[in-house]
Amino acid sequence: MVIEKKLLDLFQEQIRNEFESAYKYLGMAAYFESTPYKGFAKWMRKQASEEMEHAMKFFDYVNDRGNHVELFPLISMPTHYTSPLEVFRETLEHEQQVTHLIHEMYRVALEIQDFAAQVLLQWYIIEQVEEEKQAQDILSQIETTGDSIAALMKIDSKVGKRKD
Ligand code: OFO
């Protein structure tokens, strides 16, 4: 059963949003690559691949429901930042915005009684809890370092061990 236009439009936009998230995190990885913080760079690369997986999950779903995928242009992303603190503040803020978008899609899926889409979106709702938690955890650790580069490097090394 095809997805109703009202929800389909949001799904199409979300494919772009997820790719833009990947692009945003790649920009952050590029920034970290130009600093000693190679662990944060690695974390951002992993985060970018995860966002591409999120995009492809929507891509496949739109196809599976018999709709035709549209791909919209991506905007350019910054690769210059001033500190890890700035980057992770922005990461958390970004994930909170994504959560809001996912909730809005879920609200529409409820409104039009698209039960199958609700199940798909429940996966993203749970995923967003994890995404926000990860960003918040790293941000909180960075906030405790004050001016200590040594403490920051320690967090960088720990964060760089991210597996998935
Ligand atoms: Fe960072 O989250 Fe996608 O959906």
Cβ count within 10 A of residue 152: 21
Alpha-carbon span 6 to 80, nearest angstrom: 37
Instruction: Give a yes or no: residue 119 inside a domain.
Output: yes
Q: Measuring CA to CA, which residue among 21, 10, 20, 6 is closest to residue 128? A: 21
Q: Which domain holds residue 151?
A: 5-159
Instruction: Give a yes or no: residue 164 inside a domain.
Output: no
Question: What is the CB < 6 Å shell around ligand 1?
Answer: 18, 21, 51, 54, 95, 98, 124, 131
Per-residue pLDDT tens for 51-88? Answer: 999 999 999 999 999 999 999 999 999 999 999 999 99
Per-residue pLDDT tens for 23-52? Answer: 999 999 999 999 999 999 999 999 999 999
Distances from the Cα of 16 to the Cα of 43, 73, 101, angstroms = 22, 8, 12
- Give the predicted TM-score (pTM) of the model: 0.96
Alpha-carbon span 77 to 22, nearest angstrom: 10
The total domain count for the chain is 1
Instruction: Give a yes or no: residue 91 inside a domain.
Output: yes
Ligand 1 probe mutation, 128, 132, 134, 162, most atoms within 8 A of CB: 128
Q: Please give the distance of CA 114 from its chain centroid, rounded to a whole number.
A: 25
What CATH number is associated with residue 58?
Answer: 1.20.1260.10
